[in-house]
Amino acid sequence: MLTGLAYGLAIALDLFILYIGIRFLSRPEQAAAGYGVPSPRSAYLSVKGVRDAAYGIVGLCLLFFAGVTAEAWFMLAVALVPLGDMVIVLRNGGTRAVAFGIHLATAAIVLLSAALLVAA
């Protein structure tokens, strides 16, 4: 059961970050507002979209082609991204609710996923 939960959460997180990346590429203003720092269309939004989509694809590839251990290490390392996003939101006028409620919570869930994958 733990293995199924670990795989399921990892796949869901990989697909979700892929979705976020695609959203930043297709609807950058809405995605920026959801990120916590509304801004006009800029190259930054496209960069963020490509980054997030690539993380989702890399995570799925690791899980399916390299295995659980590789995905666990990936999740552990990639948890730094939402922590960095939290700091960016706080330093650029975003709300604490978004910084902690979205970005810190995301980091915690990603770390949980890593722990479940190690335990699986």
Report the half-sphere exposure of 112 (CA within 13 A, side-chain side).
12
Helix (H, G, I), strand (E, B) or coil at 59: helix
Is the distance from CB of 69 to CB of 51 less than 8 angstroms? no
State the chain's mean pLDDT as an integer: 89
- The CA distance from 36 to 10, in Å, is 24
Task: Check whether 19 has a pLDDT greater than 80.
Answer: yes
User: What is the predicted pLDDT for the residue at 40?
Assistant: 56
Taking residues 32-40, report their average pLDDT. 72
How far apart are the two ends of the chain, measured CA to CA in Å? 9
Taking residues 72-90, report their average pLDDT. 94
